[in-house]
Structure 1
């Protein structure tokens, strides 16, 4: 074969290798903030593989952060939300200045778990969505990370976020959520410019600890659209207390500061909203973006630009029905 042909083929192979990836990096547009945000997707139900890239594009293109999105991948390199042991390119965690996550029942290998633990111990802020309350499960009893398992006294979620999985307080896929801002904390920076919060996921039962500052409570609606009236019926909490489902309303977003095992502190924004469909809501996107600024100690914009970059048509949540055959490269920014 002629040398120029070999050279051309080598160039093509190299170009393909550089493009094909197990993760996505969004370089900052405009004035760079000099901060690296790592977004972790990995859940079987709420389409984090769609929501995290969308948030990464907003944070990079609208606000000047470098953003890296990591995925759960199958053996063929396609995104597989059920691959609980997978997190692609965990090396990105080594330089993370903040973490945005939507995880459920992950059980990574020791090397990946160690990188995540090291990031936490550096004191990075954490913005945790929906099932991140029960982010980890399935570590063997003899694993150094077995304490993260959600069924181990609430695991990582209860320790860091302040709550674990308890129950569907609203009726799943039947009753949506209207976010009601907690009047006493309405001036918190994370709520700058936030209004008209709506999620088509249901309210989770949650009782964050006394050190948490509740920002938003979830009003259970009778239906799945924002114009339906509030629900009214009684239900028993996990503590066996009978109450109206909306009196009082469950917290659906809160902040807290937690001291980790290394003695440093992590600023936490936790919300039990956050499915890919929920993130179609402008108010929720703004709260998440505000949480990044707040966590990093940066001035929170009065009304952050959270307009979507490119197309965003999120898939309805559920344990079946995720888009098959997706690869990280499907989420690169168009030129």
Structure 2
């Protein structure tokens, strides 16, 4: 009798622990979004999108790109967000918390649009491990200055800071891994846009397949000099005004706005890197910019030969991006609220 009671109690406790663990996992997964992916060339591949910037609405931009890559191209896409740990709501101003970075352990590609993050070591280690594994990166806009260590300068990851002076890591993650760090605004921020100019010497590159007409509302960034074997795919000409019909600003020189490079880390692992200084949520109203990014994801993973002649990048459902600016993000929303429905 006593043995049966003990056995029953043990079984009950076991069931409760399993249910509790499952509930905790389900609640934890509510902190990010997952698009399982339809049939397509990307089936079986996993892309992790890491959003987190105060100004350019990465939470909207990367959600759109994830849905397109899952719906039309078959990739499983996971979107991570900066989260307020007290409310579990998306808060781009929170620079110290992006739950779910452990998803990078199964990722074939990391897509970044982050700015001045200083993540705890327990989270940052997954980006570090991913980078050391020699896996590819597609980076947008402020990712050139992805990290800024001001709170814990003793962190082993402080060398990733955009202003790092650590030997071998000058300019931090942006300069060493992606090709450049934050320098300045070349165009007039909030008054001038970017007209994309295809580099004629690279026009046959797979990433540029079907890409002809790029215009972005964000301004051109200053690029001092790109590192390593960087090759420019698209230059940016500033425009007088912030509409696609705005005239070109011939008074200003062109700057690289999209390039590729190889990054070889200290372990000798080499990764394909694509970087663009465009990519705000409003920039993605440009169909050919969306196509450039989709093609870049294919290329980064090593699927050059599978890039369509004209990648399907049609917007799914409604997409009404928020204009860039500090404090303009949609407040009080959970990751599920950003999921784009058909």
TM-score with structure 2 length normalisation?
Answer: 0.87
Q: Is structure 2 residue 153 aligned with structure 1 residue 141? A: yes
Q: Is structure 2 residue 97 aligned with structure 1 residue 86? A: yes
What's the offset of the Cα at 1:310?
A: 1.8
1:295–1:318 distance in 2 versus 1, CA, 3 Å? same
SS of aligned partner of 2:123: helix
1:155–1:14 distance in 2 versus 1, CA, 3 Å? closer
Tell me, in whole angstroms, the C-alpha distance in 2 between the residues paired with 1:228 and 1:169. 17
| Partner residue in 1 for 2:10 | none
1:96–1:20 distance in 2 versus 1, CA, 3 Å? closer
| Partner residue in 2 for 1:212 | 230
Larger Rg, first or second structure (1 or 2): 2
| Partner residue in 2 for 1:306 | 313
- Give the counterpart of 1:49 among 41, 59, 63: 59
What's the offset of the Cα at 1:16?
A: 12
Q: Which runs of 4+ in 1 moved over 3 A?
A: 13-20, 332-335
1:18–1:29 distance in 2 versus 1, CA, 3 Å? farther
What's the offset of the Cα at 1:33?
A: 2.0
| Partner residue in 1 for 2:260 | 255
Tell me, in whole angstroms, the C-alpha distance in 1 between the residues paired with 2:126 and 2:28. 25
Describe how 1:16-95 pairs up with structure 2 within 5 A. Answer: 17=26, 21-31=30-40, 33-74=43-84, 75-95=86-106
| Partner residue in 2 for 1:226 | 244
The answer for unaligned runs of 5 or more in structure 1 is 1-9, 234-244
| Partner residue in 2 for 1:168 | 185
1:16–1:252 distance in 2 versus 1, CA, 3 Å? closer
Tell me, in whole angstroms, the C-alpha distance in 1 between the residues paired with 2:340 and 2:59. 15
- Give the counterpart of 1:100 among 111, 136, 141: 111
Tell me, in whole angstroms, the C-alpha distance in 2 between the residues paired with 1:297 and 1:102. 21
1:103–1:15 distance in 2 versus 1, CA, 3 Å? closer
SS of aligned partner of 2:90: coil
| Partner residue in 2 for 1:119 | 130
1:20–1:118 distance in 2 versus 1, CA, 3 Å? closer
The answer for unaligned runs of 5 or more in structure 2 is 1-18, 165-169
Out of 265-274 and 320-329, give the one that drifted further.
320-329
Describe how 1:146-295 pairs up with structure 2 within 5 A. Answer: 146-152=158-164, 153-206=170-223, 207-209=225-227, 211-233=229-251, 245-246=252-253, 249-295=254-300
| Partner residue in 1 for 2:333 | 326
SS of aligned partner of 1:221: strand
CA RMSD of aligned residues (A): 2.0
What's the offset of the Cα at 1:121?
A: 1.6
TM-score with structure 1 length normalisation?
Answer: 0.89
What's the offset of the Cα at 1:203?
A: 0.2
Contact 2:44 2:75 survives alignment (8 Å): yes
Deviation per residue, 1:74-120 (Å, 9 max, x gap)? 12011100111111212211111101110100111111111111111
Out of 249-258 and 118-127, give the one that drifted further.
118-127
Tell me, in whole angstroms, the C-alpha distance in 2 between the residues paired with 1:54 and 1:117. 26
What's the offset of the Cα at 1:194?
A: 0.6
Contact 1:19 1:329 survives alignment (8 Å): no
Contact 1:98 1:295 survives alignment (8 Å): yes
Contact 2:176 2:227 survives alignment (8 Å): no
Tell me, in whole angstroms, the C-alpha distance in 2 between the residues paired with 1:27 and 1:80. 25
Tell me, in whole angstroms, the C-alpha distance in 2 between the residues paired with 1:334 and 1:100. 21
Contact 2:228 2:261 survives alignment (8 Å): no
Contact 2:96 2:118 survives alignment (8 Å): yes
1:309–1:15 distance in 2 versus 1, CA, 3 Å? farther
